[in-house]
Amino acid sequence: MKSKLLVCGIALAVVTGDASARDSRVGTAGAQFLRVPVGAAMTATAGAGVAGVEGAEALYWNPAGVCALEGASATFTHHEYFAGMTQDYFGASMSVGDDAALGASVNYFSDGDLLRTTTTETDGIGTFTPYSIAVGLTYSRQVTDRVAVGSTVKYINETIDAVSATGVGVDIGFRYLTDYHGFRFGIVMNNLGPRMKFSGSGLNSNVDGVPTRLEAQEYELPASVNFSGSIDAYSSETMLLTVSAAADLQSFAEERGNVGAELNLLDNYYLRAGYRGIGLSDAGYDMGGFTAGGGLYLDLSSMGIALDYAYSDLGILDTTDRFSLTVYF
C-alpha cells in the first residue's frame, strides 16, 4: 500500500507544483506532437482505457501494459490530422521471459508543406516541411500477479527548415489488477525530461550588413499525469462490455476527463465510443468532443490481425480519422 501511495504522490507532484500559474503557461511547452493520440482502438474510446491497454498498443499509452500480452505484437497507425498535418506511428513489443517485455516505437508527425518566405521574398521561394519525431525504447515488467510497471525513454527531435531541437523524454507507467469484474487501475507520467532548445543556421541573420545570430529560448516538454480505470461492466459467452474513465492532468494545459466504452462481440467484432475533454473551459485552449470507431479481429493459424478505425470530433478544428493495423504473433 505504501508503494501505491508513493506512486500517486509522485504523479500528483509532476503536475501540481505550478497549479497556480498553469493558465499563464498554456501553450508555452514544445513538442506538442507528443500529446496527439495514436492508435485507432484507444482513440475511439477517447483514450480512457489507459489502464487496460496491452502489448504494442500500450507503448504510447501505458508502458506498464506492454508485458500483459504474451508473445510479440506490432502496430501501425496512420492519422489524417487537420490543416494538412499527418501522423504515422509504428510500435513493436515482445515478451522476455515469463514476466517482462521489451518494445520499440517511432512516432512521426508532419506539418505538411509550408511556403518559405523572407523579409524580401514575401511571396515565397519554395516550400519546406516541418516535422517532429520521437523514437522510444520500452521495458515493462509484471512485478506481482497484480502489479505491473514500465518505462519508455524517448529521443525527441523537432525540425523547422534550417533549425532543430533535440531532447530526451521519459514515460513511467503503473498498472494494478483486481478480481472485481476485471477492474484495472493505471497511472502514467508522460514526457518527463529536460528542456529543449532550437539551434541551427536558420537563426543566422544579417542586419544592415552586420552578421547577427538570434538566440532561441528553451522550452519544456508537455508533462502530464493520467489516472485511469477500466471495468468489465457486462460479460457473457458472446459479449463483453468494458467501460473506462480517465483523468488527464496537464502541466501546460487544462485538466480534463475522458470516458469511453468498448463492446466486444465474439472476440472478433468491436464497437467503440467515447467523449474526451470533460471539464474543459470555454477558453479554447483545447478541443474536446465525441469519438467513435470499430474494429475487426482475424484469428489466423499463425497470427492474429486487428484492423481498427477511429473518428474524432475536434470542434472548430473539424474531424479527424485514424486507421490502425495490429499483428499478434
Q: How far apart are CA 267 and CA 243, in angstroms?
A: 16
**Which carries the bigger pLDDT value, residue 317 or residue 225?**
225
What is the pLDDT confidence band of residue 119, given thresholds at 50, 70 and 90? confident
What domains sit in the chain, N to C, each tagged with a CATH number? 2-328 (2.40.160.60)
Q: Quick check: 316 pLDDT over 70?
A: yes
Asked if 310 contacts 40 with a C-beta cutoff of 8 angstroms, the reply is yes
- pLDDT given for residue 18 in this prediction: 47
- pLDDT given for residue 283 in this prediction: 58
> What pTM was computed for the model?
0.88
The tens digit of pLDDT for each residue in 185-208 reads: 999 999 999 999 999 988 888 777
Secondary-structure breakdown of the chain: helix, strand, coil percentages, each rounded to the nearest 5: 15, 50, 35
Phi-psi region of 20 (alpha: psi -120 to 50; beta: other; left: phi over 0): alpha
- Other CB atoms closer than 10 Å to residue 58's CB: what's the count? 35
